[in-house]
Amino acid sequence: MRLRSRLRPNLSLAAWLRPGMGIKRWLLVVFVGELGLALALALALRQVYREVEVDGPLQAVLYLVTLQFLPYVARGTILAAAGAALFVLGSLRVVRVLMDPFRPSGAATPLVEVIYQKRFLARGPRVVAIGGGTGLSTLLRGLKEHTSNLTAVVTVADDGGSSGKLREQLGVPAVGDIRNCIVALADAEPLMGRLLQYRFPADEVPESLGGHAIGNLLIAAMTAVEGGDFEEGVRQVNRVLAVRGQVVPVSPTPITLHARRRDGVEVHGQSLIARTSGIERVWITPMPVRPSEDAVRAIAEADLIVLGPGSLYTSILPSLLVPEIREAVVAAPALRVYVCNVATQQGETSGYDLADHVEALLGHTSPGLVDLVLANSRLRDLAPDPWHGAPVQLRWPPVTGSAARLVLDEVVDPANPHHHDPARLAGALLRLVEREGGARRRGAAGVRTA
């Protein structure tokens, strides 16, 4: 009884025939083919029965097989019912036998739901998300439930922790943010995510392994396997871990971030800049820097381009300071949305309101960079104690000239008011795509509530 109840969802004909499964047309083809075979067999039996003289036991067998002892209507009803039952049972069993090996190990989701989900996601909008850090990972976790046409363009300016050590020792770009995005998009079991995020304790292993995340070492190793080609190494890791979409570095070249404070003091390196307040300007070296070809192509083909959420100066701007990436975003026909953080960050954005964030973004890039600015409308009860930041206040419009429109929505995570809620944020963005038609719409600066 227990086995029977476990298998019942997979044998639901209604589930297999839902719109979007792509199976009804082929079932129709199979049915027409079987109907043709049945008609051919019926004609053959008819010919045998009428023209071939049969005596003895064979005549009795034909009499029983063709159900001649029943009325004509009863014969047709019984044969049709038996044929339909065998057709449905056989088709479902064949599909199950063919697809069961591809079901994730230990998955509790019925196979029909897995197939439907994948086909549904393949029809989702083409989304490019640009940034890094925790904000980008949060966004990806929400979006991957609605589309598999995702490209995460990730900064490689990090110079601290495990990423900084690998960058210094092996000469590879920063891999930490790339690892986090791969984990967020991976279709692997939760255990795989825990494995990739695992760090060797510094006091229990040799110094060369201490503090390194397994995922960082995997990306570095795959880069070495691919002959030092960082972009190809990341592509292969995407494939190995069954990433839903793709994660690409903004550049295959290690990038260094620099900042100048309002008092003229310069700060060098992402890890130091993240703790610096009063930033006036940031820039990257070396210049020129080669962009990722996959990133430029994805931006040109996107329906939606999302900038952020994430650290303004150390996650979002480093990618947009790559000239070809910035120019691709400006020229893209997609709807371009900047997602402002729900809270300020101690250091780089201390005291910033919404307009300050937008002015800094457009001041470093282009006034025409974005079409919409999405900000959190829920400011009440968002300051747990202790909290080193503050809710981003909704001052609008910015002083710098821009045609960007403001859209307000409740996108904060009530349980963690420092961050966005993945599901709410993804829902708000997809409503914008539906409303705007996925195409660029320019208009006078204003405010909308989603």
What confidence score (pLDDT) does residue 171 get?
81
Indicate the DSSP class of residue 264: S
Going by C-alpha positions, the residue among 371, 305, 341, 18 that lies closest to residue 152 is 305
Of 425, 157, 151, the residue nearest 309 (C-alpha):
425
- One-letter amino acid of 225: V
Across the beta sheet with 279-285, the strand order is: 266-268, 256-261, 279-285
Give Rg (Cα) of the chain: 30
Q: Is 67 left (phi over 0), alpha (psi -120 to 50) or beta?
A: left
The tokens describing 233, both together, are 């190494």
Q: How far apart are CA 265 and CA 398, in angstroms?
A: 26
User: Which residues, including other chains, have CB under 8 Å from residue 185's CB and lie 6 or more apart?
Assistant: 140, 144, 150, 152, 243, 244, 245, 247
Q: Which of 253, 251, 371 is nearest to 302 (CA)?
A: 371
User: Residue 240: its pLDDT value, please?
Assistant: 87
288 prior amide bond cis, ω within 30: yes
CB 144 within 8 A of CB 184: yes
Tokens 């009530």, located at residue: 414
Whether the CB-CB separation of 146 and 430 falls below 8 Å is answered with yes
Model confidence over 122-149: pLDDT tens digits?
889 999 999 998 899 999 999 998 999 9
pLDDT score for 424: 96
**pTM (2 decimals)?**
0.78
What pLDDT sits at residue 198?
Answer: 84
Domain 124-155+250-449 has CATH 3.30.70.890: no
Please say whether the beta carbons of 313 and 273 come within 8 A: yes
What distance in Å separates the CA atoms of residue 123 and residue 125, rounded to the nearest whole number?
Answer: 7
Alpha carbon distance 157, 253 (integer Å):
10
Distances (CA, A) of 85 to 13, 89, 340: 11, 6, 57
Kindly report, as residue ranges, where domains of CATH 3.40.50.10680 are found in the chain: 124-155+250-449
| Regions in the chain scoring below 50 on pLDDT | 1-11, 439, 441-445
Tracing tokens 């780089």 back to the chain, one arrives at: 348
